[in-house]
Structure 1
Amino acid sequence: MTDLPVQSASPAVTADPWEELRRLTSARIALGRAGTSLPTTAQLDFQFAHAQARDAVHLPFDHQSIRDQLTARERDNLLLHSAAEDRYTYLQRPDLGRRLSEESARQLDEYAAQHPGGCDLAVVIADGLSALAVQRHTEPFLGRLEEQALAESWTLSPVVLVQQGRVAVADEVAERLGARMVVILIGERPGLSSPDSLGLYFTYAPKVGLTDAARNCISNIRLEGLSYGMAAHRLMYLMREACRRQLSGVGLKDEAELNTLESSDTSHQTGNFLIDDRPS
């Protein structure tokens, strides 16, 4: 969201007493008022953000640019399609976006037959509800994730790109590949301040028919949100714990320790960080 100018510059606008807080957040707060309505600038900014969100939903998936980046890193990749034939069908029929098309399913089965033995981690990329997010953030995040996964000696599938894909399509991809774990990177539903937010969903022992209760989600991966490095750190923790406990989803909590300036010498502390319970 673009920064709004100070509304008090216009005598027709009544400033909001919380105006200073607007500098600390992209949320639409302290917008002021003009009579009983929003100021013109705030209204136009809202309409612009709404247009950005709509554009993100309908933006075509530029999968070729991602494949070119993967090829440059010598990463094998496959391009598949969900059972939703086009964007209109995808938006109207979420169930079709959760399964591969018959042709893609055959293509994946042929690959699996030629490469038996499965793998530890299948990596899936889907456009979801914001192809913009996938195109901006997938490659830099994926580089950090794969570097750490290879350091753990985990075997990786080729990167599987699914057009018109929903989260659950990753379960079918992983099951057909014989993968022990799967992570899907997908464009999240655009908000009025974040049309390019990338989300990821992780599942242990994936198979067709699982519900969201079997998955772990890490969201808001973007430059203004959760950094690529932090997201990869949290995902690696979940994968290690999933391998140890042989589960994912609601039974697996994200308790990754994050080193910060405040916690670097007090990592043993627990409790509510909002309450300073240190002895005086």
Structure 2
Amino acid sequence: MNDKPVPARPTVDLRSFTPARVALGRSGASLPTKPLLDFTLAHARARDAVHAVFDGPRLMTEVRALGLAATEVTSRAADRGDYLRRPDLGRQLDPPSAAALAEVAIAPCQLAIVIGDGLSAAAVHAHSVALLQSLLPRLGEGEAVATGRVVVASGARVALADEIGAILGARMVLMLIGERPGLSAPDSLGAYLTFAPRPGLTDADRNCVSNIHKAGLSYDEAALKIAWLVREGLARQVTGVALKDESADRAPRRIGATEPD
């Protein structure tokens, strides 16, 4: 029997593995001054991210520079206050946007891409175009995925992509959207994939690749996962709880292939 004591490992070591607030120390019954000021700054940055102005025209220019057709739309949320108080309004296109989108829906496509401000316009401005630059070549490899129109949406919730995808006749829709800011990541981007988009779907019908930012999932890592889910989802004709991310274990099947009996 080995009675040799196990050496204690200082809790402070955890700080080298996570940006979460651990091992902050204390001063009496309170936090030390520096951790308290860091928390206050992080909280302010998160609030600023939620209320940041979304520059749709700038994003349209950057998307078109990638050689993609783009259309700008808005949800039924009239302003940021409406957007935060009424999440349902962010899930529906305003009537003029729906009509304009229907006019450019010339032919169905395999994949429509929506870029929405969500809860962090800062995340969208910082990461969405760079992620597309990494993703598009992967979608073009081998059996290329036909990418249709890119839609830039303001006042957007995730489910807004369902209505957009349905209008465009897309087999699948990819929504890139600013995630709810955290105290360690105010600019995190999320990617949501939905097969056969239509109004009324729930989060159980989607796959999500989240935490895309400089201290989180890299553009290349996220693009690999998204491209795999797109191809596998089109091949199986499902997304959500029926589709597990196995991008690290195997290549996706052919899009025209079907699930074995």
**TM-score normalized by structure 1?**
0.83
1:207 match: 198
2:112 match: 122
- Which secondary structure state, in structure 2, belongs to the residue aligned with residue 161 of structure 1? strand
Contact 2:113–2:175 under 8 Å retained in 1 = yes
Distance 1:153 1:256 in 2: 17
- Following TM superposition, by how much is the alpha carbon of 1:21 offset from its aligned partner in structure 2, in angstroms? 2.6
2:52 match: 59
- Following TM superposition, by how much is the alpha carbon of 1:17 offset from its aligned partner in structure 2, in angstroms? 4.2
2:96 match: 103
Which moves more between the two structures, 90-99 or 139-148? 139-148
Q: How many residues align?
A: 241
Contact 1:17–1:30 under 8 Å retained in 2 = no
1:160 match: 151
Distance 2:236 2:13 in 1: 47
1:45 match: 38
Distance 2:249 2:237 in 1: 23
The amino acid that maps onto 1:201 is Y
1:146 match: 136
The amino acid that maps onto 2:16 is R
The amino acid that maps onto 1:181 is M
1:23 match: 16
- Following TM superposition, by how much is the alpha carbon of 1:237 offset from its aligned partner in structure 2, in angstroms? 1.5
Deviations 1:95-140 (A, max 9, x none): 010010000000011111xx2x210100000000000000000011
Distance 1:258 1:35 in 2: 50
1:169 match: 160
The amino acid that maps onto 2:103 is E
- Which secondary structure state, in structure 2, belongs to the residue aligned with residue 157 of structure 1? strand
1:197 match: 188
Distance 2:18 2:202 in 1: 34
2:240 match: 249
- Which secondary structure state, in structure 2, belongs to the residue aligned with residue 134 of structure 1? helix
* Runs (5+) with no aligned partner, structure 1: 1-15, 260-280
| RMSD across aligned positions (CA) | 1.5
Contact 2:116–2:154 under 8 Å retained in 1 = yes
- Following TM superposition, by how much is the alpha carbon of 1:258 offset from its aligned partner in structure 2, in angstroms? 6.2
The amino acid that maps onto 2:39 is F
Aligned: 1:69 with 2:62: yes
Contact 2:145–2:231 under 8 Å retained in 1 = no
- Relative to 1, partners in 2 of residues 1:157 and 1:59: Cα closer, same or farther, differing over 3 Å? same
**TM-score normalized by structure 2?**
0.89
Contact 1:126–1:161 under 8 Å retained in 2 = yes
2:256 match: none
Distance 2:156 2:29 in 1: 44
Misfit runs of 4+, over 3 Å: none
Pairing partner for 2:126 from 130, 133, 136: 136
Distance 1:144 1:101 in 2: 31
Deviations 1:200-230 (A, max 9, x none): 1001111111111100011000111011111
Distance 2:44 2:221 in 1: 30
1:78 match: 71
Distance 2:245 2:231 in 1: 11
- Following TM superposition, by how much is the alpha carbon of 1:18 offset from its aligned partner in structure 2, in angstroms? 1.8
Distance 2:103 2:63 in 1: 21
Distance 1:186 1:258 in 2: 27
Distance 1:138 1:102 in 2: 26
Distance 1:67 1:249 in 2: 29
